[in-house]
Amino acid sequence: MRIPIRVLTALFLAAASGAVAAGPAEAATTLGASAAQTGRYFGVATAAFKFSDTPYMTIVNREFNSLVAENDMKWDATEPQQGRFTFTNADRLVSHAQSRGMTVRGHTLLWHAQQPSWAQGLSGAALRNAAINHVTQVATHFRGKIHSWDVVNEAFADGGSGARRDSNLQRTGNDWIEAAFRAARAADPGAKLCYNDYNTDGVNAKSTGIYNMVRDFKARGVPIDCVGLQSHLGTGLDSTYQQNIQRFADLGVDVQITELDVQQGGNQANIYGAVTRACLAVTRCTGITVWGVRDSDSWRDDNPLLFDAGGNKKAAYTAVLNALNAGGPTTPPPGTGACGAQVTLNSWTGGYTATVRVTAGAAALNGWTVGVTVPSGGAVTSAWNATNTGTSGQVTFRNVGYNGQVPAGGSIEFGFQGTGTGPTATPTCTAG
């Protein structure tokens, strides 16, 4: 069988970089490109004050297709005085991501830590009102620009209780988390809403407490779309890591590995590879984010990242790229030719939001249109990352400027909100 030159070249380049292609198709040579081949993102936590660091940004722009603010979107950074919002650094990160077609994770709307001092001094209704206003104002500011929000971060206690953490926010009433999610949905219906926590990297009391909350939210129609597993790891990986990802996916939410870093040592590369393979094994594990670029950029002092202080790729980097390439591209649904489209609905009484994943076939896309049959009695009311023609019956969605180019086997997502019941038929997808 003759192997096309372009595949041989890719294999040679991959081997030369130490990343040996293992997947059935052309091996990608960067983390983001390889993740995109399976319809996922591979992201990194960044800091706007480092955007003038050329080696830092060279790595960011080459390797990743998603960004999150390590600190620039936290409550103390965005509302340093009550009612006075500052978004300069966060806007800079979002603008940079958009200019490069990267998605943005929002981190984090409500957290017991890193609160501005004025909020730490509040309690009861005053704190609850201030917190919900913060969610509303910040999510509104970034409306349409955030792929996923960490709406609430680290609200569960460590140890064997599976209970909520005691905090000023928890003391405003047990319903503070759902109130935050409802406010976030109202402010930005296009963003996926996540609950994010650490020490949840396996089936344990803490992750089970969160699992029970998510199950309750889904049963009561509280808007929640994903769970973030931070995955700040030491020298081992829980044997139930993948099982834990799968059980959250089985509840009907996405799972995102949101803050991955692993203690340097004999096992670091193996653990990074195992985490990557576990995410690839679960369809609704939609992406991985590492918590920093170079070891010198980390909040930790045990060299936990994929690049050393000099910006060189470590063995852990190669382990991740190999695992991503072994994941192979996700081919579009059968019978869809040049591209395929799949809809995921988040419905409530009287309305829904739809997320549509467009996946390229064997050839890259240079533009796409998706046809959706909107059930009678309902209508499309807004769309993001696409422009729609028509609002009821047969509605056509076309790519916008920054998402028409989709690599072979790669995917992009757009979404829309509608009244009535959401579409159930598989959409049509046409290249060009």
Residues with a catalytic annotation lie at 154, 259
Q: Closer to ligand G3I at the Cβ: 52 or 239?
A: 52
- Fill in the per-residue mask, 116 to 155: x = in contact with ligand G3I (CB under 6 A), - = not in contact: -------------------------------------x--
Per the DSSP assignment, residues forming a β-bridge with 42 are 288
Q: What is the smallest separation between the CB atom of 74 and ligand G3I, expressed in angstroms?
A: 6
Does residue 388 touch ligand G3I according to CB under 6 A?
no
Answer for which of 225, 259, 297, 413 binds ligand G3I (CB under 6 A) is: 259
Contacts with ligand G3I: how many residues (CB under 6 A)? 9
What pairs with residue 149 in β-bridges?
Answer: 106, 193
Q: Which CB, 107 or 357, lies closer to ligand G3I? A: 107
Q: What is the largest CA-CA distance in the chain?
A: 71
Residue among 254 and 259 whose Cβ is closer to ligand G3I: 259
111-149 residues labelled b (16+ CB within 10 A) or e (exposed): bbeebbeebeebeeeebbebbbebbbbbbebbeebbbbb
CA dihedral angle for residue 276, residue 282, residue 287, residue 289, rounded to 10 degrees: -40
Nearest CA among 361, 354, 363, 428 for reference residue 398 = 428
Q: Which is nearer to ligand G3I, 231 or 330 (CB)?
A: 231
Our finding on whether 188 is near ligand G3I (CB under 6 A) is: no
For residue 114, state whether it binds ligand G3I (rule: CB under 6 A).
yes
Q: Decide: 285 and 257 in contact? Cβ < 8 Å.
A: yes
Q: How far is the CB of 40 from ligand G3I (least distance, A)?
A: 21
Contact between 88 and ligand G3I (CB under 6 A)?
Answer: no
Contact 195, 227 (CB under 8 A): yes
Tokens of 341: 């489209």
Q: Which is nearer to ligand G3I, 135 or 412 (CB)?
A: 135
Q: Are strands 351-360 and 365-366 parallel, antiparallel or unpaired?
A: unpaired
- The C-alpha atoms of residue 78 and residue 84 are separated, in whole angstroms, by 8
CB 86, min distance to ligand G3I, A = 12
Q: Which 290-349 residues touch ligand G3I, going by CB under 6 A?
A: 299
- Nearest 10 degrees: CA dihedral of 426, 431, 43, 342? 0
71 touching ligand G3I, by CB under 6 A: yes
How far apart are CB 150 and ligand G3I at their closest, in Å? Answer: 8
Chain positions contacting ligand G3I, by CB under 6 A:
70-71, 113-114, 153, 198, 230, 259, 299
